[in-house]
Amino acid sequence: MNQTPVFDEMWGSDDTLRQPYASFHDWFRDESAAHLRAKQRDAEELFRLTGITFNVYGKAEAEERLIPFDIIPRIISGTEWHRLSRGIDQRVRAINAFLHDIYHKQEIIKAGRIPEEMISQNDAFLPHMIGVEPPGGVYTHIVGIDLVRTGPNDFYVLEDNARTPSGVSYMLENRETMLQMFPELFSQNRVQPVETYPANLRRSLAACAPPAGSGDPVVAVLTPGIYNSAYFEHAFLADQMGVELVEGHDLRVVDGRVAMRTTRGYKPIDVLYRRVDDDFLDPLNFNPESALGVPGIMDVYRAGGITITNAPGTGIADDKAIYSYMPEIVEFYTGERPLLQNVQTWRCSEPEALAYVLDNLEDLVVKEVHGSGGYGMLIGPTATKKDLSAFRRKLKARPANYIAQPTLSLSTVPIFSRAGLTPRHVDLRPFVLVSPGEIKITPGGLTRVALKKGSLVVNSSQGGGTKDTWVLED
């Protein structure tokens, strides 16, 4: 197990206040605990009134919960962010190039950098996309890159979210809440803005409209409906962009275009920001039982009649076994060494790796290759003997379904508690917008925090919360 001391982003490793937190610390020192507790309650009430919720899926119906929010910001210096942005930009460019390649010439396979079976036998690989050229050559229009930190200059990519990354609405609402609760903090600190994200998203999506459209591109958001865990975000983004929020039954193919029902008849859509998984997107091409998608939309897409964001088939870039090849992918497509590090990863499909993982299970984190949301994973150091035994059986039965990684010593940032400032582990999901000729990274992103003492699981579905992320101007 990794025994590296925990790096605290406010106090460093030697209890010396770090510069990005200097101004905030001066302010906090002069605030009374009672006043801050009242502000924390006000923030929670604001979230409740706004309806900032998420759904947790269990054995019964999905349970709707208020997402926990902590009022202590996570603060990143402009210099740190500049370095991170360069690495994120490089990685996103490589992911788009990789997706284009595997659905066209597959040069990376021919070069022997990735085994052919990693693509052909991957459940996320979509044969329907072979030879398809998405408008503008963009596959991943919205990307979320999950980052963790272990030291002052040590950042690692934990996961790539190239299919349907979620959480940007929480990033925006966190900032809005902090602006309302503590306006004086923003006059004392030069914090880079995030509130332009919806306008930037609308502009970026419109720039990816297909040639078939004309005039101002018509954009819509496709949601599975109110019972989806991220429905709040779907509705929020549609409202913020000033576009329609639609469900599958609102759409149909009319004269070779996908059109949405309006009071004046059906109106063609140029760009559909879909939050529906590939398998449910088109019952004529994929799951015939799906009532969430649009019959025939893939035929319109292949003919160039609509832009679907993110493109179908991008989920293969989310695959955690493919993730383990990202250093090779970055170097192959950019000709550069990766600026952001990967976490060491054992592919359990490989006999030697599987043997190592089984022998060291109590020290490792094991994840499903297509898992998300903190579900279906094992954290060895905190697992019970029963959990370890169950996972050994799963690994032996379906080794290719899992990867394993060391248990990292994730950085901590302070949360506000009855004891004052208390350290908790965090990750960071920056959001990236990709359009032809431009990659735009929102400064900061969504910080997810493990509210339970000692926990490394930051997902809201597993008891985690969120906090505002500040990137300071240099």
Predicted local confidence at residue 462, as pLDDT? 67
Predicted local confidence at residue 453, as pLDDT? 87
Predicted local confidence at residue 351, as pLDDT? 95
Predicted local confidence at residue 47, as pLDDT? 85
Predicted local confidence at residue 372, as pLDDT? 61
Relative to beta strand 244-246, strand 251-254 is unpaired
Predicted local confidence at residue 419, as pLDDT? 84
Predicted local confidence at residue 213, as pLDDT? 72
pTM: 0.93
Contacts 24+ apart (CB under 8 A), 171-176: 171/197, 171/431, 171/442, 171/444, 171/445, 171/446, 171/466, 171/469, 172/197, 172/198, 172/236, 172/240, 173/47, 173/50, 173/52, 173/236, 174/69, 174/446, 174/466, 174/467, 174/468, 174/469, 175/468
Q: What CATH topology corresponds to 346-406?
A: Dna Ligase; domain 1 (3.30.1490)
3-state DSSP helix/strand/coil % of the chain, to nearest 5: 35, 25, 40
Q: Where are the domains of the chain?
A: 19-115+142-194+318-341+423-471, 346-406
Question: Concatenated DSSP letters for 317-362?
Answer: GT-HHHHTTHHHHHHHHHSS--SSEEPP-EETTSHHHHHHHHHTGG
pLDDT tens-digit profile, the chain (474 residues): 445 689 999 999 888 999 999 999 999 999 999 999 999 999 988 888 887 765 554 444 445 667 889 999 999 999 999 999 999 999 999 999 999 999 999 999 999 999 999 999 999 999 999 999 999 999 999 999 999 999 999 999 999 999 999 999 999 999 999 999 999 999 999 999 999 999 999 999 999 999 877 789 999 999 999 988 889 999 999 999 999 999 999 999 999 999 999 999 999 999 999 999 999 999 999 999 999 999 999 999 999 999 999 999 999 999 999 999 999 999 999 999 999 999 999 999 999 999 999 999 999 999 998 766 556 789 899 899 999 999 999 999 999 999 999 999 899 999 999 888 999 999 999 999 999 989 999 999 999 999 888 888 787 666 789 999 999 998
Predicted local confidence at residue 59, as pLDDT? 42
